[in-house]
Amino acid sequence: MKLFVGLGNPGSRYAGNRHNIGYMAVDAIASAHGFGPWRQRFQGVASEGRLGSEQVLLLKPETFMNLSGQSVGEALRFYKLSPADVTVFHDELDLAPGKLRLKQGGGHAGHNGLRSLHAHIGEAYGRVRLGIGHPGHKDAVASYVLNDFAKADAGWLDDLLRGIADGALALAAGDGAKFQNAVALRMQPSKPAAPKPVPPSPDPAPQAGAEDTRSPLQKLADRFR
């Protein structure tokens, strides 16, 4: 079994926040792949389903971001999973909006949700880092992540979430490159087809009295038109 965790804060007040893009990612997977209903479990809500040959549990901790590790640790122990079986979707200030990167293990870079996960399950879990951009100054970060995405973000955000859903089977199978390619295809719309070249018009036959400047080959071809 694989455990896919979306980080965020519970309640309608936070639903559209940048900090909740992890919730949005697992919601997109659940919707696209026919997962079961969300049920209260492990101090959060969980939904079960399959991605290819893998049984997958989607989990949205409802302990609030700073205590996310409590929920994830409980699910991990219940299913006797290792941190390597866990993939966490979370917002990433250090990536431009719409950018996505995969990472296995490593530090928490000051992210409070990841900091809690480190404390409860260690650092060896996988991460899907979802770029939301940076407000420009560290004092503005808290307000920025706890505010909703702007209307101008709707296009790339929808493409990103659709791409995550498209690539979810590959991610569950451990094929990170194929997963990232699925996202890239959504984020880079196909180019319009190049117009077909128009064949050149044949040289018209000269009018009576005009000098005939056609080549001998053109004169011959015009006789058989």
Span 37-82, pLDDT tens digits: 999 999 999 999 999 999 999 999 999 999 999 999 999 999 999 9
The predicted structure's pLDDT at residue 214:
72
pTM for the full predicted model? 0.83
Domains of the chain, by residue range, sit at 2-187
**Pairing outcome for strands 126-131 and 86-92:** parallel
The predicted structure's pLDDT at residue 109:
84
Please state, in angstroms and rounded to a whole number, the distance separating the CA atoms of residues 38 and 21. Answer: 17
> Among 173, 167, 171, 165, which residue's Cα sits nearest to residue 54?
173
- Which residue of the set 19, 33, 90, 118 is catalytic? 19
19 given a catalytic annotation: yes
Give me 1's structure tokens: 């079994």
Give me 162's structure tokens: 């659709």
The predicted structure's pLDDT at residue 98:
95
Please give the full DSSP string across the chain, using - where no structure is assigned. -EEEEE----SGGGTTBGGGHHHHHHHHHHHHTT----EEETTEEEEEEEETTEEEEEEEE-S-GGGHHHHHHHHHHHHT--GGGEEEEEEETTS-TT-EEEEES---TT-HHHHHHHHHH-S-SEEEEEE----SSGGGHHHHHTSBPPGGGHHHHHHHHHHHHHHHHHHHTT-HHHHHHHHHHHHSPPPPPPPPPPPPPPPPPPPTTS-----HHHHHHHHT-
Give the mean pLDDT of 83-110. 94
Please state, in angstroms and rounded to a whole number, the distance separating the CA atoms of residues 159 and 186. Answer: 6
The predicted structure's pLDDT at residue 178:
97
**Residue 133 one-letter amino acid:** G
Backbone φ, ψ for residue 134 (5° rounding): -120, 140
Give the mean pLDDT of 101-116. 93
Residue with tokens 């994830």: 72
Give the domain 2-187 fold: Rossmann fold (3.40.50)
The predicted structure's pLDDT at residue 124:
96
Give the mean pLDDT of 196-203. 67
The predicted structure's pLDDT at residue 206:
58
Residue 164, pLDDT above cutoff 80: yes
Tens digits of residue pLDDT in 25-44:
999 999 999 999 999 999 99
The predicted structure's pLDDT at residue 28:
98
Residue 189, pLDDT above cutoff 80: no
Share of the chain above pLDDT 70, in %: 87
Q: Average pLDDT, whole number, for the chain?
A: 91
Residue 2, pLDDT above cutoff 60: yes
**DSSP bridge pairs for 41:** 44
Give me 119's structure tokens: 């404390």
Residue 210, pLDDT above cutoff 90: no
